[in-house]
Structure 1
Amino acid sequence: MQIYNVFHPWLLHLDDGQPLPGQAQELPPPVNAEAPEEEQEWEVDEVVDSRMNRAKTDTATKKRGLLEYKLQYRGYEGWNETPSWQPYWDAAGCPHLVADYHHRYPRKPGPHMTFQTPTDWEPLL
């Protein structure tokens, strides 16, 4: 009598991940919990400049003229050499720096009408 190693398909299943007794199981690689690059928040180091871009429309007021800032980010020296203009909402995470900038340069455009000076902010001397 011959015996063949033949198994019916319903007996076959994927590994359930449980090691056999005495078998070492490798740990899975760490999960990257960072948000995709377009969703990451960069830490603003300084507000460099502001302008009113008349070619764009402000989404909050629905009027022509969008307040833009040039921001320098911590740890991004290549970007900081020639920063580009960014809409005011990109500076929403650094209200103290925005308040400092507008205190130093009161004739520059801004702050935006939605901006609220932090209650714990004090002007730099």
Structure 2
Amino acid sequence: MKIHDIFSPDKLRKAANDPLPGQIQEPPEPIEINDDQEWEVERILDSRLYRRKLQYQVKWEGFDEDRTWYPASNFIGSPHRLRAFHVDYPNRPGPPKRLKD
């Protein structure tokens, strides 16, 4: 048996929390909440005001980096992530007025 037979790409498996560079990781399935598909927020990356509307960039759980800006209203189910972001970055725009609710 040759070493390349042992370590051929079809025999390698990615680690769930630490994939190898270049490996394609299947994104997680969405969660159904009130007939809507939602994904879990790993962390908030940034916030901005765009046309007087608060928006966030996020790192989605199980996905690669996403540079899309999303409206703050999309994160009703993640107040703990929003709160953590604004505690760490108090000078960034936000938080939403009803975050404490």
TM-score, normalising length: structure 1? 0.50
Deviation, structure 1 residue 103: 0.4
Match among 52, 55, 61 for residue 74 of structure 1: 61
Match among 48, 53, 60 for residue 50 of structure 2: 53
Deviation, structure 1 residue 39: 2.5
Superposed counterparts of 1:90-105, under 5 Å: 90-105=74-89
Q: Which runs of 5+ in 1 are unaligned?
A: 1-33, 55-64, 118-125
Deviates more, 1:44-53 or 1:87-96: 87-96
TM-score, normalising length: structure 2? 0.61
Q: Flag the structure with higher strand content.
A: 2
Identity %: 33
Query: SS at the partner of 2:82?
Result: helix
Mark the structure with the bigger radius of gyration.
1
Deviation, structure 1 residue 100: 0.6
Partner of 1:40: 37
Question: Structure 2: which amino acid aligns with 1:86?
Answer: Y
- Once superposed, what is the RMSD of the aligned Cα atoms? 2.0
Aligned length: 69
Q: Which runs of 5+ in 2 are unaligned?
A: 1-30
* Cα distance in 2, alignment partners of residues 70 and 91 from structure 1: 11
Partner of 1:116: 100
